[in-house]
Chains A and B, each alone.
Chain A
Amino acid sequence: MDTIGALFHGFAIALTPGNLIAVFLGAFIGTVIGVLPGLGPTATIALLLPITIGMDMVTALIMMAGIYYGAMYGGSITSILVNIPGEAASVVTCIDGYQMARQGRAGPALGLSAFGSFIGGTVSVIAVMLISPFLAETALKFGAPEMFALLFFAFTCIGGLTGKSRAQGLLMACVGLLLGTIGTDDIQGVDRFVFGTLYLQDGIGLVPLAMGIFGLGEILYNIEKREAQGSVLETPKSLLPTAGDWKRAAGPIARGSFLGFGVGVIPGGMPAVASLVSYALEKRVSKRPEEFGHGAVEGVAGPETANNAATAGGFVPLLTLGIPTNSVLALMLAAMMLHGVTPGPLLLLKWPDVFWGVIASMYIGNVMLMVLNVPLIGLFVQLLKVPYGILSPLIIMFVMLGAYALKNSISDLATTILFGLMGYLMKRFGVEPAPLILAFVLGPMLENNLSKALIMSRTGNPLYFFSRPISATLLSLAILVLLYPLIRWAWRFATGRLAAAKGSC
C-alpha cells in the first residue's frame, strides 16, 4: 500500500506538463541517436549535462533516462532495416531482424521489437520498484566466481548457435575468442597482439567490428550480386506482427524480460550482454533452431526485450548503492550530485521525490516510446523503397560517420573497413556471424573473471567455485546442460535395452 501510494505520488510528479515534455524529448532524442550509428547515449548526455544544471533535477533525470532507453530502442531500427547496429546492445538484432526485413517482414520485426521493449522495460521497472533494496544485496554477492559461472553457463549455449555446420560454427567461435584476446590483459597488464600500437591496447571495439561485419559486409556482398539496380529487399507485406508471430514471440519476450532484468542488475552486466545471452538462450530452447539466422521471430523478440529490461535493471545499483554500472549511469550520478542529491541507501529516505519521480517517468517513458514508434513503423519501412543504388552509399556514409564518432578515432574507421571485408567473405561463403560475436564479447569477460576468481581462491583450486552457493548452482546447471545429450542417450539406450530384454522374454 505504501509503495502504491508513493508510486501515485511519483506519477503526480512525472505527469506535470514540464516533466511530460521532458519524457517525450528524452525518448525522442534517444530514438534519433539510437538510429544514428556511433552517436550513443553517453556522448549525448555528456553534452546535455551543463544544460541540466539550470533545470529541475527530477526533470533532468527523467529526460536522461528517456534518452537512455530511447537509444536502446532506436538502435534496433537500423539493425533491422539496413543491418547496421546503432548501439552495442542491438548488434544481435542484425542477425535475424535484417533477415526478416529481407523477407518483406520489416514491419513485424520493428513491431515485435517495440512491443518487446515495452514489455521488458515495464516488467523491469516494476521489479526495480518492488524489490530494489533486496536485489541490491543479491547483486553485491555476484563476485568474480559467480560471474564466471554465469558466463560459463552462457557459453554452454553457444553449441546450439552453430547453425548448418557445427565445425564451422565452432571455428567462428574460436575466431571470436582470438579476436577478443587482443589488447592489454586486465590481470597482468601484458600486451597481447597489439603489434606495438597504442590503439589495439584496449582491444577491438564491438561496434566497429559489428558495423563492419554486418553493415559493410552486407553492402559489398549485394554489390557483387548486382542487386544494386533495384531494392534487395522485398516490398513490405504487412506492418504489424501476425497472430502467429505473437505466439512465437510470447515465450522469448517473457524470458527476455526476466533474463534482461537479472543481467542488468549485476555489476558488469550490460544491455549488450543481456541481448547476446538472450539470443543464445532462445536458440537453445527453440523447437526450430534451424530458422535462427534466417529471420526467426524469436531472435528479434528475445534480445530486444532483454536489452530494454537490462537498461532499467541497471538503475538498481545506481539508485540503491550509488554505483553506476556503465558510463551513461555515471553521468546520471553526476547530474544528481550536481543538484546535491546523493544516490544510495539514503535516496529513498531523503529524496523520495527523485526516486519515485524517476520510476514513474520510466513507466510513462515506455508508453511514450510505443506511442512514438509504432505509428512510425510505416514511415520507417518506406525507407526500404529507396533504390539500393542510392541507399547503399548513404548507409556507407553513416557507418563511417558512426565509426568515427564513437571514440573520435580514425583507427576505428580502419577497423570497421577491415571487418567489412571479413563480413563480405563470411557472407560469400555462407559463414554465420553469431558464434563469432558471442565469443568475442563473452570470451574476454569469462577469462577476466576466471583469473580473478582463481586469485581470490588463493590456492588456485577449481573446487573454490563449488564452495560458493551461487556459482556452485550455476556451474552445476551448466554441467547438466552439457551432459544432457549424453544422459538422454544413456537413458534411451538403457530403456531400449530394457524393452529389448522384455521383448525377448
Chain B
Amino acid sequence: MQVETRSEQFDRHSIIGRLLTKLHLDIPLLLGLVLISALSYLILYSAGGQDMKILNRQAVRSGIAFILMMVLAHINPYQFKRYSVLLYSIGVFLLIAVLVMGEIGKGAQRWLDLGLFRFQPSEMIKITTPMMVAWYLSIDSLPPKWKQLGGAGLLILMPTLLIAKQPDLGTALLVASSGAAAIFFAGLSWRFISVVVVTLASLTPVLWHFMRDYQRDRVLTFLNPEADPMGRGYHIIQSKIAIGSGGIYGKGWQGSTQAQLDFLPESSTDFIFAVFAEEFGLSGCLTLLVLYVAIISRCLYIAVQAQDTYTRLLAGSLGFTFFVYVFVNIGMVIGILPVVGVPLPLISYGGTSMVTLLAGFGILMSIHTHRKFLPT
C-alpha cells in the first residue's frame, strides 16, 4: 500500500525530484547544511584574517565530507545495522592503538598515522558508539531492562574512558552523550535517570581527582574568569567582550575588532562564535540558532518517521548529539559552560569534525530515503 502511494508521489515530481530520489538526499536537511556552510565561509574569511588559503582548505575538506555524506546516504541502513558490531569493535581497537602508539599532538594522544593520512579514531567512534548502542538495544523489545542498561552502559563507558584518557574531554563528552541519547530514546525509566544524576553529582569530587591540571584550570577559570585576566581567564573575558560589544546588529562583516586585533584567541576554531556574535550581533546569533534548531528538528522528525528500532534510535541519537555539539560550544564561548575543546559544528575551521558530522547526516539521509526498502 504504502509503496504504491510513494511511487505515485514521485510521478508528480519533476526530473529533479527523480534525481534527488536517486541520490538519496534529504532536501530540508541538505538546505540547512548548505546555509550553515555558507555562513561558515563568510565568518571564516573574517576571522581568518582575509586569508583565502584558509577558505580553500576548508572548501576542500567540506567537499570531501559532502562526498562521504552522499556515499553514506546511498547505503541501505540495514547494512549499517549489520556492520555495527564490527565497526564499533574496530573503533575501540583503534582507540587502544592510539593510546599505545599514537602520535603526540598538542600534548595529547589523538592521532594515528596510517602512512597516507592521519586519522583520529575518536572521530569515528562518535558515530559507531550510537550505532552499537542502537544495535544492542534493538535486539530486545523496548523499553530496555536493567540488564540491557548495564550492557549499554559498558558499551558507552569503554570508548568514553579511552578518549578521556587521551585526554580529550570534549570528544569524550560527545561520545558519552551520543550513547546516553540512544538509551534515553529507547525509553530509559525516569527513576533510573534520577539515580544517575544523583550519582554523577556525588562523583564530581572523584572526577576532579582524575583530571589533568589544564582541565582543572579550565573549570576553575570558568567559575571565576576575572581572577586571572591576563592568563587563564583571558579566553573567556575576551570572548565575552567580543560578544557583548556586538550588540543587537553587530559591527558588520569583517568589523570584529577583538578578533582582528588578536585579542581573541582561537578565533577561527573553537571561539569562532564570538567573532560571529561580534560581527552580526544578537540578530545574527538568533538566526544561527534558528538554523541549528531547524536542522535538529528535521533530524528528530527523521527519527520519528523511521521504521524500525535500530534506525530510530540511531537517528535520534545523531540528531541529539548534534545539538550537544552546538550547546557545549556556544555555552563555553558565552561563558555558561567550562572551556572544553568542542568546535562549533559546521562552522569552525577544521577538517575532522566536519567529516564526522556530515557522515552522521549521510546516515540520517540514508535512514529517511530508504524507508520503503527496509525488510520488515
Q: Do A and B come from one complex?
A: no
Tell me the A residues contacting B by CB distance below 8 Å: none
Task: Spell out B's residues near A (CB within 8 Å).
Answer: none
